[in-house]
Amino acid sequence: MQPQYDLIVVGGGVLGTFHAYHALEIGLKVALIEKDSTPQGATVCNFGQVVPSGMNSKWQLFGREGLRIYKEIQQQFDISVRQEGSVYFASNPEEEQLLEELHQINRDNDYPSILMTKSKCLDSYPGLQKDYVASGLFFPEEILLEPRIMINRLHKYLKASGLVLFANCTVIDCIALSNGIEVQCSNTKSLSAAKVIICNGTDFKTLYPELFNESNLVVSKLQMMQTRPQPSYKLPSSVLTGRSIRTYGAFQECPSYTGFKSRGEFNSTDNKWGVQIIFKQAMDGSVILGESQQSVDVSKINTLGTDLNMDVDDFILQEAKNIIDLPTYEIQRRWYGLYSHCKTDDVYQATIDDNIHVVTGIGRKGLTGSAGFAKANIYHIFNLRHV
C-alpha cells in the first residue's frame, strides 16, 4: 500500500509547524501530530519576540527569512504579529561600543538598525531610568507576537491550506517499512508516510531513549513573569538590555567583544542565575519580564524540578526597576519554560532508517529561527534545490 502522507511531522510547536508549513508550500500531503490539545512547551513559554538582531550572522539569515514569512502570513491571516521593532539599551561605554559595532555590521549586511542617543532613548521610552541608559540601537523590522495565540492560529491557517492535524495524539513508535514509515499512536491510531520528521523537543526520549541519552543536548529552565496590565502606558517596542548585549551571539561577532571578555568587563558576580532583563508588552497592556537560565545535561533533566525560585524573580524585579519605572510591577502570572539546545551544534539532528529525521534542540532560537531554518531543512530532506 502507498503511504497516506508524503510527510508526517511529530510535534506541533513552532519548529514542527514550520516544517509542515514549508512541506505544504512545495505541494506535499502533510499530517501534523501534537500530543496535547494545543502545544504546551517552549513555543508558548517565551516572550513572543522575533529578534534576528541578537543572532550570529548564520542564524540572522534564518531569522530574517522568518520575519518575511511571519509578515507574509499575517497579511493573509491574523496570527498576532505586530511590527514594533526591538531596542537594545547600553548601560556603559563597553556596551555602547558593541552597539556601534553591531550597527556597522548590520549596515554591511543590509539589515536596518538605528543608533539612538541617550536623550532620544529617554524621550522615546516612558519611565526609562536616566541613570541606566547610555545609548540604544533600534531594529525597526523586528516583530512581536503572542505565542499561544500565534501557534494556534497558525495551525488553523495551515488546516485551511490542506494540513491534516491530529491533536491529543501521542506517538509511541515509528516503524520503517519497505515503502515508508508507519507511525503508531497511543490512541491505537496508525498512520503512514514516506518520511517522518520528529520535532517534539525533549519528548523524543519517549521514542528513542538511548539516542536521547547519548545526545549532546542541554536543557535550560528559564523563569519569566507578567505584570498586570499597565494603566495608560505604552512600551514602544520590545526592550533588551546590557545583559543581552554581553551574551547574545550577534555581539560576540563584534570586533571588541573578545577583548572586553578577556579583560573581565562582562564578568558579573551577582548573576549566578544567568539573568537577562527583557521587557515585552503584551496585547493586553501587561509587560512580560525575565529571564533566568539554569542548564543541565539531558541526563539530569529531572533535577531542574517544577518549582519557581522566588529569589530569582526578586532579582529580576529589582534589576528591571533600575531600568524602567513601570506604572505597576504587580505580578499576575509567573512561569518557567524548558528549552533544549546543543553543546556543540546549532540544532540536534539524527536520521534513523533513512526516512525518520529527529530535529530538535534549537533552543532559544526557536521562535525567531524556526521558520527560516525549517525551509532549508525541508528542501534538504526532500533533496530539492533551495531557491
Residues 285-314 pLDDT 10s: 999 999 999 999 988 888 999 999 999 999
Residues 241-266: what's their mean pLDDT? Answer: 90
Task: Give, to the nearest 10 degrees, the angle between helix 14-25 and helix 366-381.
Answer: 40
CB 30 within 8 A of CB 20: yes
Phi first, then psi, for residue 171 (nearest 5°) are -80, 130
- pLDDT at residue 188 above 90? no
Per-residue confidence band for 385, with pLDDT thresholds at 50, 70 and 90: confident
Q: Which of 155, 137, 143, 147 is nearest to 63 (CA)?
A: 143
Question: Has residue 73 got a pLDDT over 70?
Answer: yes
User: Does residue 270 surpass a pLDDT of 70?
Assistant: no
User: CB count, 10 Å around CB of 259?
Assistant: 10
* Pairing label, strands 30-33, 164-166: parallel
Summarize the confidence of residues 80-97 as an average pLDDT. 97
Could you tell me which residues are beta bridge partners of residue 351? 357
Report field, pTM of the whole predicted structure over 0.85? yes
Please report the sign of the dihedral spanned by the C-alpha atoms of residue 239, residue 243, residue 245, residue 247: negative
Joined grid coordinates for residue 88 = 537594545
Asked whether the CA dihedral 276, 282, 287, 292 is positive or negative, the reply is negative
Instruction: Write out pLDDT tens, residues 330-346.
Output: 999 999 999 999 988 99
Identify whether the C-beta of residue 101 lies closer than 8 Å to the C-beta of residue 159. Answer: no
C-alpha cell belonging to residue 351: 536520521
CB atoms within 10 A of CB 331: 14
Contact 223, 295 (CB under 8 A): no
Residue 13 near residue 201 (C-beta atoms within 8 A): yes
> pLDDT at position 123, please?
98
Reading the block at residue 338, the C-alpha cell is: 524548558
Residues, the chain, total?
Answer: 387
Q: Which residues contact 205 (CB under 8 A, 6 or more apart)?
A: 212, 213, 298
- How many Cα neighbours within 13 Å face the side chain of 33? 27
Distance separating the N- and C-terminal Cα atoms of the chain? 33
Rounded-to-integer distance, Cα 191 and Cα 183, Å: 5
Average pLDDT over residues 226-233: 96
**CA–CA separation, 319 and 249 (whole Å):** 22
Q: Is 155 helix (H, G, I), strand (E, B) or coil?
A: helix
pLDDT score recorded for residue 269: 57
What stretches of 125-170 show up as alpha helix (H) in DSSP? 147-160
